[in-house]
Every structure is written in structure tokens, then in C-alpha cells.
A and B are shown apart, each in its own frame.
Chain A
Amino acid sequence: MLRKSSRKPLALLAAATSLALVATACAESTREGGDGADSSEPFVFAAAGSISTLDPFLTSDGETYRYSRQVFETLLRHESGGSEIVGGLAEDWEQSEDGTEWTFHLRENVQFHDGDALNAEAVCANFDRWHNLTGGYQSSNNSYYWQSVFGGFAENEDEDIPDSRYVSCEAQDELTPVITITEYSSIFPGGFSLAAFGLMSPSTLEAIADQEITGEEGNYTLPEYSQVAGTVAGTGPFTVEEWDQDQDEVTLQRFEDYWGEPAGFETMLLRAIPDETARRQALEAGDIHGYDLVAPADVEPLEAAGFQVPTRDVFNVLYMAYQQEANEALADLEVRQALAHAVDRQRIVDTILPAGGEVATQFHPDTLDGWSPDVQTYDYDPDLAEEMLADAGQEDLTLEFCYPSDVTRPYMPAPRDIFDVISADLEAVGVTVEPVTYEWADYIPRTNSGECPLYLLGWTGDYNDAYNFIGTWFSGYNSEFGFRDEDLFEAMAEASGNPDDAERVAAYQELNNQIMDILPGLPISSSPPSIAFAENVNPPAVSPLTQENFSEASWK
């Protein structure tokens, strides 16, 4: 009797196990389909985050741009696999001598996904729409790049919004739009390549003309066209078929009438996997066919297992900033130089960064025009560092040193490890380091406001101009560094406003020399972020600006 009844729980367990195995078998057969010899099989790519809107204008979020670059195209773009600005929807372009008039010569026979033709009027309709936006669209969260590149709107509704730099867009002829701005800035022509300015079809613009960002201050709701696929149409190699917010999945479909080479995949799915390890495991388990932001430590094991892990060219820089107001010792150039000599940057590159990483000699990578071969360098020399600290009367220097606790960045793959190396080097020359760590959301405001005397931070460029790096930090007083140097600030403004390319590049080189002489921080390294693909994928050319064009990829 006992034996008979005791089988019941076991029987239940066996039934449950059987059910799970049946489910597994069925699901397994579905997953096997992803091996992908057939071009109709969907290519699944995992990003670190979800997209936030179908309209790239409304965001400054990189994950949204990864999707939007496949669907919408810009007048100019970066060359495939590189950082040079080349023609996008405009085959060619020219600027007036003073840099305020930009004439674009559009490609012929380009169609939007909904059948509209690309012409000068369509281009101007987009720019005029952006310029005339009102209400919630003017929140810096919803028009960040417009405000950064073109300033404000036709009618600014907030006193903090800068004056508009955009004047007009005129159709000189069918395929020649002319965009006029108030004054030249080195943000052009790079600004025309930003994904936020992907062009939509005239029919789309008509359909969304009445769709506002609704709600009151602090409670804005994005318009429906930006949340449900079906309205927006670009000219890119893929159309957006569906955005399943339940599954965090965006479905892109090959656009058969694309003006260029048609996409290699018929269907591409973008999924979000925020956790770095989970992304790697999903690739290893065959659930996805590619993912971005591979941890440096995962590169070799993945390659050994047969996966492809192409490395991008560097387009970023990591630095250790000296905040001169947070600790008065740092206002002394000799101390800043001593600390620079104390840090073995090559060791960081060799032991922490992925292959292809390099020591940075200045505040932007050598892939950018304006990089100077003549900057003052600070080789690793702990004895010299110790001596210089003694000369400066700082043998017993104590410094707080901040690093972020919860993130990795393309330029900073392992903040804690990098901190450990630098910290040990500084301790070795007699500096007492007090470690301070914050979560990223807290780290940025604290470092921005100048709380940390020493801290790690960096930058990945948006477009190919040195100002996008050095102008970000050194165009005026900046509480992140806490110093004033009017000569430097004036020279920076002058360089940025010079529309002559050759002169501007020469000025940037001189500025880099000047910056490394005054040493507001120590550039540490440039790090190449990696991206991983399954063995059966022909990957796209990888971009130093993380702007891969997935239409170049296909199944092997």
C-alpha cells in the first residue's frame, strides 16, 4: 500500500518532466532553423539595450540608432568601415566659402519605402519640420542632436534653448537642396551624418504632421507613429515591419527597391540583452547570431570556439582627469606631470584592453585629422615621478580617485581593473590613493560638478572632427577639469569656426600640443570595441563609430 501511494508524487514529477521534454523537443526544432544556410532565415542580433522610438530624431540613444541606420539614411554618412565623411543620399556636396551654405547633390532614382521619390523638396520638408517643432518636441530629451547641431527652433519655448543656427532649406532644382545656417561651426559637415537626421518620406511627414508629443510638463507621451510600426518610411536597405514591445524585438525586412546593393538578409531581428554574459551565452547557445560590446576577456575564448570577433578601429579615448579645484596640489603642473610619469599605461593596454588597444598620447585617437605627432609625451618613469613630486613638495600627497562601479564603456572595458593598475602605480611613487566609487548614474554628475580630484572617463566620437573630442572638454571653463586658460579657449573657438579644412586641421594639431603641455588630464588609451558573429555569418564591415550597415552582412 505504501509503495503504491508513494509513486504518486514520482508519477507527477515524471509527467512534468515528460511535458518539459516534449516542449523542449518542439522548441529545439524551431531553434535549429536558425543555422541559416537559407537567406530567408532571420538574422538575430542582440544589442545591450532596447530601442526607445522608431523616429531617431526623438532620441540620443545609440541602441535606437543601430536600428534606425538600417531604415533611414542621411545626406552624408561615414565610409563603410571607416570614419571619413562620404556621400550618403547626397552623392556629392559643397559648402560656400564662409561655410554657411551647404549644397547637396542627391542621388537619382532613390525611393522611400512607401514609393515616394527622394528629391530636394523631400529633404527640405524634413529639415523644415525639425526646425518648426513645438511643445514637447523641444525638450532636450526629444531633440537633443537638433539642438546640439542646429541650435534652437523657429520659435523657442524655453529660455535655455539656444538660438537657431538653421536658416532655411531651398530646392535649387529637383535634386539639389541648399541648406543655409547662420554661422560655420566645425560640427559641419559631420552634423549632416548624424543618425538623428535620417530622412522620412513626404507621405510619412504628412501622416505625422498632427501627431504631437502629448501631456503636460514632466509627463510627456511620445506620438503613436514613433511607437507602432507602419507609418514611418525611410530609404534604407531595410523596412521596419514590427516593433514587438512585449518581446523587445524589432523586425526589419529587406527593401527590394533599395537604390544600392540589396541587403544580404531577408529578415533581421534586433533583440535586447542588457547583460554582457547573457549576450555571450545566447550566441554560444545558438539563440542569436551576433552581438555587440564583447567583453575583452571573452574575445579569445569566442574566437577559439569558432566565432568571429572582428575588432573595430579605435575611435575613442579614455583619460584620467585632474580636477585642479578639487585638490590644490593638482593646480601645480609639475605634480600633474609627475603623476603622468608614474602611470604605466602600456601595462593597461597589454593586460586589460582587447588586442588593438593603444596608449593615447593626446585627447583623441590618431584616426582623426588634427592628431599631432609633436605633442609632449609622458613616458612611464616612476623614479622621475618620485623626484618631481619631491621637487614640488608633495612627497606625502593624498588624492581621492573615483571610478564607476557598475558599467563598462567601449573606451573603458574594466573600470575597476584599470583603477587598480593606476592606483598601484601611484602608490608606488608615494601617493596615497583614496578610492571612491559611484554608480554610473551618480558618477557622471559628481565628476561633471568637479567633486573628484582624479577620475576615469572617456568619450566615443559622434563624427569625424577633432572638435567633437577636444572641443567637448576644452572650449571654455569646464568644472570637470576646473581650470581656466583663456588662450586655449580662444584658440579652440577660432579653430572650430574656421571653414577651411586644412587650416582647421593645422589649428587642431597646435591645440593638441598646447593641451598636452598644460596637461589637464592624462590620456590613457584608445580601446577598440569588439562585435561578435556566429561562424555562418559574413559580417558587415565594422565601423570605428559603431555604425555598422547590416545590409552588408549575409549568411555564408
Chain B
Amino acid sequence: MLRFIVRRVLQLIPTLVGLSILLFVWLQRLPGGPEYALLPDDATDEQRASLRRSLGLDEPLTVQYLSFLRRIAQGDLGTSIASGRPVLEEFLTRFPATFELAVSAMVIAVAVGLPLGYLAARRRGTVLDFAAVGGSLVGICTPVFFLAFILKVVFAERLGLFPSAFRLSPGLDRTNLSGFAVLDGLRTGEWDVVADALAHLVLPGLALASIPLAVIVRMTRASVLEVLEEDYVRTADAKGLHRNTVRTRHVMRNAMLPVVTAIGLLTGSLFAGAVLTESVFAFPGIGSFIYSATQERDYPVLTGFILIIATVYVFINLLVDISYSLLDPRVRAQ
């Protein structure tokens, strides 16, 4: 297992180098530059040229890339052009918000998607099945920004049940230990902070969960249906095993294999999906920051954030593979 993990981590290096080259070329191809986003519209050509030079953007691409690699090797992801703060610091400041949002979305998707998918399979052809399949189709098809808008109008504006924006209520007094609002609140016993953070996670969490929820429902349903047809399930039923045992040990455990893979991939994709959700809910995470960085052509932030996200994505996949081997002894044996 250890060798497997080390091999996967080593595979990360060429992946990141390749990705960084692609990013560098792509960013340079992007029209416009930070000198247009950062300086007022009436800045002179000299002021813009001076800014490009002071940012090192007048150097040839290869020189810029080698300088970037040298910094990376020293553990330095560079400095944001727009804020003047180190990119890693910017990432670590915003990561907890996005992590909490992604986790809450995935908790909603799994908590609702797995049982719903299972029930839809067990009651195939019933109203529940049609509702689950139809609902998941709607979930996949509905654009996140539209769903977010509807959720805000109904639950924030009309009913006033949840906040429409931010991660915590403005001015909320809290102890910031790690940046993770819910965890910090639990550790310090600030229950109002926990409640406030959870309330702020509900609507963006639901919006972000819509697609993974729909995918999990459909995959669970399809997978359970397939497993239910297997001989070993019929055999387990026939030999009089307790129904719950058949469901958990024989049906769900086997049906979970493709679903777990999907959950892993979907978790990674939540970071990308967060860009839109965070912008709509003014949620101060990495998604909304990437959105601003794109507008400002903040190359160091874009490069640094995408490389970190790619690394996180690879590690999530690694975790998926490890969990896969725990669920399926055949994988472990290999």
C-alpha cells in the first residue's frame, strides 16, 4: 500500500510540471494584462509599460517560467499582483471557506443521494423511482446560478430562513484559530458561531450539491439495480440471511464501488463548481477569488491556485483509490 501511495505521489510531479507549462502558455495567450486591470483607464502608456516591467512581464516567457520554477522549488508560489500578498497566504486564507462549502455540499449530496438512489432501485417503477430519476435529471440540467437565484429568492428573501450572502454574519465576534469557522466554533464552544456558519452554508451548499446529488442518485440506483440481479444476492436471500445484512454487506457494499469513485471525482469537481456558487453567494472562498483574479489577469494567483487545486484533486483521487481497496478485497490483493 505504501509503495502504491509513493508511486502516485511521484506521478504528481510530471503532472504538475506539464500543467504549469500549459498554464503559463495559456495565461500569456489571454488577451489583456494586469496593467490594464490594475491601473485606471486614463493611465499613460509609460505607466502601463513601467508596471509590466516592475512585474517582470516584459521578460521572455522562458525566463519568466524558469524564474517561476526556481521560486516553486523554494516553496514560494509568488505574490498576488492585485493584493501584494503571497499567493500561498491568499490560498490558505480562503481555502477553509471553500473546504467547508465543498464538504457541506458533499454531505448533502451523499446523505440525500445514497438513500434516495437505493430506495429508487428497491422500488423501481414506483412514483418514488420516477420522482428520483426525474428530479436528478432536473438537478443535472439546472444551471447552478439559476438554482442559486431561486434558492435565495425563496429561502432568504421571501421566507427569511437563511442568509443570502457571506460566510458568517457581518461583525460576528469569533475566535479564529484555523480559519475553519465550524471547527473553530466547536473547539471554542462558540455555538452561535457554529450555528451562524452552518446557516450560511445551507443555501450555497444546496446549490453546489445539486449536480453531485443528481449524479449520486442515478449512479446508486443503477448500481443497486445491477447488484440486486446478482446470483449472490439471491443466494444470500435464499439462505435466510437477515434482510439488513443482505442490504449492507452484499448489496450496498458492492454497489458502492462505482459510487465511491464518482464521489471522489465529484468532490474534486466541487472546487471548480465553487467558482460560480461562491460568486453568487458572496462566499469568500477560493472560487470567488479565482474569479476576481481572472478579471484582473493576476497570473501568479491563477497559476498558484490551479496548481494547488490540481494537487488536491490528485490526492482526493488517491484517497478514492485507497477507499476502493478497502471496499473491494480484490483490489487490495492486487
Contact = CB atoms under 8 A, between A and B. Distances in A.
Contacts of A227: 84-85
A23 B199 contact: yes
B195 A23 contact: yes
A221 B86 contact: yes
Contacts of B279: 274-275, 278
Given A26-B191, A440-B295, A445-B31, A218 B171 contact: no
Contacts of B47: 140, 144, 147-148, 160
Contact of A217 (B54, B116, B281, B282): B54
A55 B78 CA distance: 22
Interface string A82-121: 0000000000000000000000000000000000000000
Interface string A244-257: 11111101000000
B161 to A, nearest CB: 5
A391 B333 CA distance: 87
Contacts of B116: 9
Residue from A1, A141, A277, A282 having most chain B Cβ neighbours under 10 A: A141
Nearest to A407: B295
A432 interface: no
Interface stretch (A12-20, A197-205, A488-496): A12-20
A26 B79 contact: no
Contacts of B291: 274
Contacts of B170: 34, 42, 44, 247, 249, 269, 271, 287-288
Given A141-B51, A278-B282, A287-B164, A220 B84 contact: yes
A442 B32 contact: yes
B56 to A, nearest CB: 3
B295 to A, nearest CB: 6
B273 interface: no
Nearest to A479: B45
Interface string A326-346: 000000000000000000000
B97 A222 contact: no
Interface in B109-147: 111-112, 114-116, 118-119
B25 interface: no
Contact of B55 (A218, A245, A284, A286): A218
B26 to A, nearest CB: 14
A50 B111 CA distance: 35
A30 B191 CA distance: 12
Contacts of A61: 38
B9 interface: no
A34 B53 CA distance: 47
Nearest to B163: A287
Given A49-B292, A217-B54, A31 B32 contact: no
Nearest to B165: A282
B55 A26 contact: no
A405 interface: no
B156 A285 contact: yes
B157 interface: yes
Interface in A28-70: 28, 30-31, 34, 42, 44, 46, 49-50, 52-53, 58, 60-61
Interface residues of B, number: 93
Nearest to B118: A9
Given A246-B284, A287-B164, A217 B39 contact: no
Nearest to B115: A9
A157 B53 CA distance: 12
B239 interface: no
Interface string A397-424: 0000000001000000000000000000
B231 interface: no
Given A5-B243, A158-B50, A274 B179 contact: no
A459 interface: yes
Contacts of A216: 56
A288 B108 CA distance: 28
Contacts of B96: 246
Contacts of B94: 246
Interface in A135-176: 136, 138-142, 144, 147-148, 158, 160-162
A24 B243 contact: no
A30 B284 contact: no
A274 B36 contact: no
Given A5-B244, A441-B297, A445-B31, A139 B36 contact: no
Interface in B15-74: 30-33, 36-43, 45-51, 53-57, 59, 64, 67, 71
Contacts of B46: 160, 162
A275 to B, nearest CB: 6
A444 interface: yes
A509 to B, nearest CB: 22
A136 B169 CA distance: 37
Contacts of A247: 166-168, 170, 284
Interface string B200-236: 1010000000000000000000000000000000000
A248 to B, nearest CB: 5
B1 interface: no
A518 interface: no
A288 B171 CA distance: 11
A448 B33 CA distance: 13
B192 interface: yes
Given A44-B170, A245-B93, A158 B164 contact: no
B221 to A, nearest CB: 14
Contacts of B198: 19-20, 23, 27
B79 A27 contact: no
A439 interface: yes
Residue from A2, A24, A42, A443 having most chain B Cβ neighbours under 10 A: A24
B163 A277 contact: no
Interface of B: 30-33, 36-43, 45-51, 53-57, 59, 64, 67, 71, 76, 78-79, 81-86, 93-94, 96-97, 108, 111-112, 114-116, 118-119, 149, 152-153, 156-157, 160-172, 176, 179, 191-192, 194-196, 198-200, 202, 243-244, 247, 279-282, 284, 288, 291-292, 295-297, 300
19 contacts: A5-B244, A9-B115, A12-B115, A23-B195, A24-B162, A140-B47, A140-B54, A144-B39, A158-B50, A160-B49, A215-B79, A218-B64, A220-B84, A247-B166, A247-B168, A269-B170, A275-B279, A278-B280, A472-B42
Given A52-B83, A219-B300, A281-B165, 4 more contacts: A60-B38, A158-B50, A245-B93, A444-B36
Task: Give the 9 A-B CB pairs with smallest separation, nearest first.
Answer: A218-B56, A9-B115, A222-B84, A27-B199, A26-B195, A441-B32, A442-B31, A23-B198, A139-B54
Interface of A: 1-2, 5-6, 8-10, 12-13, 16, 19-20, 22-28, 30-31, 34, 42, 44, 46, 49-50, 52-53, 58, 60-61, 136, 138-142, 144, 147-148, 158, 160-162, 213, 215-222, 226-227, 244-249, 251, 267, 269, 271-275, 277-279, 281-282, 284-288, 406, 438-446, 448, 457, 459, 472
